[in-house]
Chain A
Amino acid sequence: MEPLLNQLPIGLSIGAVLLLIALGLTFTFGQMGVINMAHGEFIMAGSYTAYMLQSRAGGEAVIVALPVAFAVAGALGWLLERLAVRHFYGRPLDTLLLTWGVSLVLQQAARDIFGAPNVQVVAPSWLTGRVTLLGGSLPYARLFIMGLAAACVVGVWAYLNRSRQGRRMRAVMQNRELAAVSGVATGRVDQLTFFIGSGLAGVAGVALTLIGPVGPSIGTYYIVDAFLVVVAGGLGQLRGAVIAAVALGMLNSFAEFWTDASLAKVIVFVVIVAFLQVRPQGLFVLRSRRLT
């Protein structure tokens, strides 16, 4: 039974990673309906930010990099929104393809700037330990990621529900026309939404340097999973994203434990399709009476 218990914290920590990479999408995809395929490359931008800061901040680069990566990835996202995405509202499929083009360019740019091989980001020394939990060990790095994910969720929740800007954002999401008529500058809100959503990807990118490779193609490893979380969680639903991420993390952890890593991925996909049979709109739906 013990090894099985070990899978619980592992599932939780996989869930935390999924949540972190998907959180930004609940903004761009969830609030704005934009399928941003370059999201993975914003994650990459975050990872490279940590790498760049290493020479200045040394071992603490990961911590210093969190706000910087948020700003860098956020700025990239903002630029993307200003230059391209804003011409595409209401055409989600076109945005998907457009941002895929952007992601190709960003990947190649990373290859040309940082070189094709992976680079090394050293974790701070105080993150190298681990705690023993349920008979297994949970590295501090994982705990850090869980904590970061939780902090981001709380931050996002507070922003959406407690701040004026956040309420505007939700207003625009629920009814763009009405919000515009009510005096909300929807264009500004869109820019901000995109900035935050992309910035969160940058934060995820920094965290991922602790456990994964840092290279030009890392975005492609995470993007599909991230979208599956949002699809399963329901559009624009923070609650849904959290539950879906943890559930998928657990599913992944136990499926891999009982079968193998390849089959686990297939199982996750099948479960999601089956789930959508029961809940085609994801876990939580905002009910509306609009046709289409």
Chain B
Amino acid sequence: MRKPFLRPLAAVLLLPAALLTACGGESKDKAEAGSGGNTVKVGILHSLSGTMSISEVTVRNSEQLAIDEINAKGGVLGKKIEPVVEDGASDWPTFAQKAQKLIKKDKVATVFGGWTSASRKAMLPVFERNKALLWYPVQYEGLESSPYIFYTGATTNQQIIPALDYFKEKGKKKLFLVGSDYVFPRTANKIIKAYAKANGMQILGEEYTPLGNTEYSTLVNKISQAKPDAVFNTLNGDSNVAFFKQFKGAGFDAAKLPVMSVSIAEEEVKGIGVDNVAGQPVAWNYYETTPGATNAAFVKAFQAKHKGAVTSDPMEAGYNAVHLWAAAVEKAGSTDVEAVKKAAAGLSLETPEGKVTIDGANQHVYKTARIGVIQPDGLIKEVWSSKEPIKPDPYLKSYPWAAGLSS
């Protein structure tokens, strides 16, 4: 063998190792310079590329807005907030690794980030082991309460259960469950089934489709055969577009068969096509149309930066997360994780969705549940609300019918 196999291998490992070395050296300097100066570093970790970027970029924008607002008022503890933005690339392991980078290399005071359950689950051990703080801004499936995560989106008893209460009030007794095949829909449907059992409702069908699925005629046929009173929809992303187009194509609309969606916010309505979803109910804690001066200011500030953009629930929850963290830091007088956690317990803040309070026991927030109806202009109008903030109960301990769900 004349061909030296090993020589190219040298080039292989030398090059990146050299690059990494260079990088490493430089990063060490940076980290030391950053942590001691007169700024406070925070991490922002969302998918800026890949399938989830559509949604997550908007949250990054609202978090950035909150940081700008705080900095305009002098920052926290007299120091400006310096965001370090990382891309989770819609890939869960990347989230874990980037979280590690933010904590270990950038030594950030806290991280705001994540959207999918999977990304949160991937980051969770990183934050717990390193005793670092994550603020997670999206409604999720509950059954979790990490001491190092603050959950500013709704848990199930602040979104799913109120939506069911609404259906119950409207006299809907026969439900059909449609969801994308992943954790949130499966957990949500488990809760819905338990609720239905306790409240004399019937579940006529439960169907899951792969993420990114675009063929819904069979599913729509199954629904029309089952003849439910209402559909509970936990589909995700592009599947919603295909589902609603084909649902409408088969002759269904909100008057004939309401479809309660928990993943469609103002952002998504445009892509689905307003005429396909107009009149359909959705369940969230915040809408762009939510009344109040705080929201008016938020919407105005956001749209000043992003022309023609809408504001949605997760964006607002991300915006709140930054403000809540800043308030806790001020209260604690330090960015130290344990001190911030302690100060955050019971902390209240006026936000676009109204007054929210952090529940120290599980680090979720009290939120008002709101059912909205999609308007022909693409915005969502509130038609029902829980009147006052609901105490977060991620394990549904206060619901007797839910016993056994979280065991």
> Which A residues have a C-beta under 8 Å from some C-beta of B?
2-3, 6-7, 10, 13-14, 17, 116-122, 128, 130, 136-137, 139-142, 208, 210-215, 217-218, 220-222, 252-253, 256-257, 260-262, 265
Do B218 and A261 have beta carbons less than 8 Å apart? yes
Do B181 and A262 have beta carbons less than 8 Å apart? yes
Query: From B215, which residue of chain A is reached at the shortest CB distance?
Result: A14
Q: List 30 A-B contacts (CB under 8 A).
A: A3-B221, A6-B221, A14-B215, A116-B53, A116-B54, A117-B267, A117-B270, A117-B271, A118-B238, A119-B271, A120-B271, A130-B250, A139-B249, A214-B241, A215-B54, A215-B271, A217-B212, A217-B238, A220-B212, A221-B213, A252-B215, A253-B217, A253-B218, A257-B218, A257-B221, A257-B222, A260-B207, A260-B209, A261-B219, A262-B210
> Is residue B245 within 8 Å, beta carbon to beta carbon, of the partner chain?
yes
How far does the Cβ of B182 sit from chain A's closest Cβ, in whole Å? 11
Given A116-B53, A136-B224, A262-B209, also A213-B271 (CB < 8 A)? yes
> Is residue B16 within 8 Å, beta carbon to beta carbon, of the partner chain?
no
> Is residue B272 within 8 Å, beta carbon to beta carbon, of the partner chain?
yes
B221 neighbours in A (Cβ, 8 Å): 3, 6-7, 10, 136, 257
Q: How far is the CA of A130 from the CA of B251 in the complex (A)?
A: 7
A260 neighbours in B (Cβ, 8 Å): 207-209
A210 neighbours in B (Cβ, 8 Å): 245, 249
Given A122-B275, A218-B238, A261-B210, also A142-B217 (CB < 8 A)? yes
Given A221-B214, A261-B208, also A213-B238 (CB < 8 A)? yes
> Is residue B57 within 8 Å, beta carbon to beta carbon, of the partner chain?
yes
Q: How far is the CA of A215 from the CA of B222 in the complex (A)?
A: 27
A142 neighbours in B (Cβ, 8 Å): 217, 249
Do A7 and B218 have beta carbons less than 8 Å apart? yes
Do A128 and B273 have beta carbons less than 8 Å apart? no
Query: From A127, which residue of chain B is reached at the shortest CB distance?
Result: B249
> Is residue B242 within 8 Å, beta carbon to beta carbon, of the partner chain?
yes
> Is residue B407 within 8 Å, beta carbon to beta carbon, of the partner chain?
no
Cβ 8 A contact of B54, one of A6, A117, A141, A212: A117
Q: How far is the CA of A2 from the CA of B242 in the complex (A)?
A: 25
B54 neighbours in A (Cβ, 8 Å): 116-118, 215
Q: How far is the CA of A222 from the CA of B210 in the complex (A)?
A: 13
Given A120-B272, A252-B215, A261-B218, also A3-B225 (CB < 8 A)? yes
Given A139-B250, A212-B214, A260-B208, 13 additional A-B pairs, CB 8 A: A3-B225, A7-B218, A10-B218, A117-B270, A120-B272, A121-B273, A137-B250, A212-B242, A214-B241, A215-B271, A217-B238, A261-B219, A265-B210
Q: How far is the CA of A283 from the CA of B273 in the complex (A)?
A: 40
Q: How far is the CA of A124 from the CA of B272 in the complex (A)?
A: 16
Q: How far is the CA of A141 from the CA of B247 in the complex (A)?
A: 12
How far does the Cβ of B319 sit from chain A's closest Cβ, in whole Å? 19
Q: How far is the CA of A211 from the CA of B247 in the complex (A)?
A: 9
What number of residue pairs across chains A and B have CB atoms under 8 A from each other?
120
> Is residue B51 within 8 Å, beta carbon to beta carbon, of the partner chain?
yes
Q: Which 8 A-B pairs have the closest CB atoms?
A: A118-B271, A213-B241, A139-B249, A261-B209, A213-B238, A212-B214, A120-B273, A256-B218
Do A13 and B217 have beta carbons less than 8 Å apart? yes
Interface centre among A7, A252, A256, A265 (most CB of B within 10 A): A256
Do A261 and B213 have beta carbons less than 8 Å apart? yes
Query: From B209, which residue of chain A is reached at the shortest CB distance?
Result: A261
Do A118 and B250 have beta carbons less than 8 Å apart? no
> Is residue B274 within 8 Å, beta carbon to beta carbon, of the partner chain?
yes
Query: From B53, which residue of chain A is reached at the shortest CB distance?
Result: A116
How far does the Cβ of B337 sit from chain A's closest Cβ, in whole Å? 34
> Is residue B246 within 8 Å, beta carbon to beta carbon, of the partner chain?
yes
B272 neighbours in A (Cβ, 8 Å): 118, 120
A261 neighbours in B (Cβ, 8 Å): 181, 207-210, 213, 215, 218-219
Do A17 and B215 have beta carbons less than 8 Å apart? yes
Query: From B244, which residue of chain A is reached at the shortest CB distance?
Result: A213
Query: From A213, which residue of chain B is reached at the shortest CB distance?
Result: B241
Query: From A208, which residue of chain B is reached at the shortest CB distance?
Result: B214
Do B275 and A262 have beta carbons less than 8 Å apart? no
Cβ 8 A contact of B249, one of A7, A121, A128, A208: A128
Cβ 8 A contact of B238, one of A17, A120, A215: A215
Q: How far is the CA of A157 from the CA of B224 in the complex (A)?
A: 38
B271 neighbours in A (Cβ, 8 Å): 117-120, 213-215
Given A13-B217, A260-B207, also A139-B246 (CB < 8 A)? yes
How far does the Cβ of B241 sit from chain A's closest Cβ, in whole Å? 4
Do A211 and B249 have beta carbons less than 8 Å apart? yes
Cβ 8 A contact of A137, one of B209, B210, B214, B224: B224
Cβ 8 A contact of A213, one of B210, B214, B248, B249: B214
Do A10 and B53 have beta carbons less than 8 Å apart? no
Q: How far is the CA of A200 from the CA of B271 in the complex (A)?
A: 25
Interface centre among A141, A212, A253 (most CB of B within 10 A): A212
How far does the Cβ of A107 sit from chain B's closest Cβ, in whole Å? 10
Q: How far is the CA of A198 from the CA of B208 in the complex (A)?
A: 33
A208 neighbours in B (Cβ, 8 Å): 214
How far does the Cβ of A140 sit from chain B's closest Cβ, in whole Å? 8
Q: How far is the CA of A256 from the CA of B208 in the complex (A)?
A: 10
Interface positions, chain B 197-244, Cβ under 8 Å from A, are 207-210, 212-215, 217-219, 221-222, 224-225, 238, 241-242
Q: How far is the CA of A76 from the CA of B53 in the complex (A)?
A: 27
Interface centre among B209, B217, B245, B272 (most CB of A within 10 A): B217
Q: How far is the CA of A212 from the CA of B247 in the complex (A)?
A: 11
Query: From B239, which residue of chain A is reached at the shortest CB distance?
Result: A213
Query: From B269, which residue of chain A is reached at the shortest CB distance?
Result: A120
How far does the Cβ of A212 sit from chain B's closest Cβ, in whole Å? 4
Q: How far is the CA of A260 from the CA of B219 in the complex (A)?
A: 9
B274 neighbours in A (Cβ, 8 Å): 120
A220 neighbours in B (Cβ, 8 Å): 212
Q: How far is the CA of A220 from the CA of B214 in the complex (A)?
A: 11
B57 neighbours in A (Cβ, 8 Å): 116
Query: From B225, which residue of chain A is reached at the shortest CB distance?
Result: A3
A252 neighbours in B (Cβ, 8 Å): 215, 218
Query: From B271, which residue of chain A is reached at the shortest CB distance?
Result: A118
Cβ 8 A contact of B212, one of A136, A214, A221: A221
